[in-house]
Amino acid sequence: MILKLLTHITRILVAATFIFSGFVKLVDPIGSAIKFDEYFSEEVLNLTFLIPYALPFSIVLILVELLLGVMLLVGFKPKLTTWLTALLMLVFLFLTWYSAYYDKVTDCGCFGDAIKLSPWATFYKNIAFGILIVFLLFNLKHIKPWFGKMGTNWIPFITLLGGLFISYYVLQHLPIIDFRPYAIGKSIPEGMKYVDGEDFPPVHDFILENDTDDLTETILEAKKVLLIIAYSLNYSELNAFEKLKSLAEKAQKQGYIVYTLSASSMDEYKMLQEQYKLSFDMLYCDETTLKTMIRANPGIMSLEKGTVTGKWNWTDIDKISIK
């Protein structure tokens, strides 16, 4: 009886953790893709041929994690589900051990941007959950479906469809939940302050400059700012700048300071500027910072004295109201 109760508690704990971890990454799959870019880089696992597939790889892994959590919770094919969960945990154990031991990826992104853990804390957490999963493997007979056959089969299927829809939606627009320090309502200057016990403030490497001047303070002190963020012009939807041009001109008439932020070269931007007759200049910014600011390329962000007042994917440009 006690063993059966412990199995139920363990099953719920493992399933809930997988569901939570999968969901907080599902709402922002690009964040996970950025982490896999780091893992696949030459400096880490040297699997650079996989970098172009980082986004689909991350989406598949996120959906598998979420689905396994739901399958374990409802009791869908307990033996298969528990063994697959153990296999996925082995993958997580390797990645987090590698991150911690070699100090290569300082944040594995196991809980997306919702919860930050140090590499070693994440590794030890995964060891603990690995032990719990082994316990479940030895007690498979106690893992029974909690719903009828129809519910046990349909709940994972509906979860998969829902996960695919959320993935598509956030890629076409923006994350439905923003855990980052650049979320709407967040103050960037406040985020640049150090927090006790942290090596870096939530907002770091936020430096906006052109070839001659650092305009960071100017941008953060201005009452109305519209930033068009394209971390790399080589991978940006350049045809979007036709619509962005009209938005920027309207914003400038309303008294906004308008800049493009990019990590690309000024020469690349000047070519784009001439092609689309853009009336606004570019400022350099760190590529990782730009990817953190907004999950779109290009994306649009409005600021009021350093506080984020709006964020949009360029695909939603028609929804932007300039006041």
Supply the pLDDT for residue 104: 74
DSSP class per residue in 209-263: B-SS-B-HHHHHH-SSEEEEE-S-TTSS-TTHHHHHHHHHHHHHHTT-EEEEEES
Q: Kindly write down the DSSP assignment for every residue of 32-88, as one continuous string.
A: HHHHHHHHHSTTTT--GGGGGGHHHHHHHHHHHHHHHHHHHHHTSSHHHHHHHHHHH
Instruction: Give the model's pLDDT for residue 147.
Output: 85
Q: Whole-angstrom Cα distance, residue 217 to residue 197?
A: 26
Residue 106 identity? T
Tens digit of pLDDT per residue, the chain (323 long)?
A: 789 899 999 999 999 999 999 999 999 999 889 888 888 888 888 888 888 899 999 999 999 999 999 999 999 999 999 999 999 999 989 888 888 887 777 666 666 576 777 778 888 999 999 999 999 999 999 998 888 888 889 999 999 999 999 999 999 999 999 999 999 999 999 999 887 777 788 898 899 999 999 999 999 999 999 999 999 999 898 889 999 999 999 999 999 999 999 999 999 999 999 999 999 999 999 999 999 999 999 999 999 999 999 999 999 999 998 87
Tokens representing residue 237 in the block: 């939807």
Task: Pick 188-319's CATH classification: 3.40.30.10, 3.40.190.10, 3.10.450.50, 3.30.750.24.
Answer: 3.40.30.10
- Listed residue (3, 126, 140) closest to 82, CA to CA: 140
Quote the CA–CA distance of 198 and 191 in Å, as a whole number.
12
Q: What is the pLDDT of residue 256?
A: 96
| Segments making up each domain of the chain, as ranges | 2-172, 188-319
- Which pLDDT belongs to residue 302? 97
pLDDT at residue number 51: 87
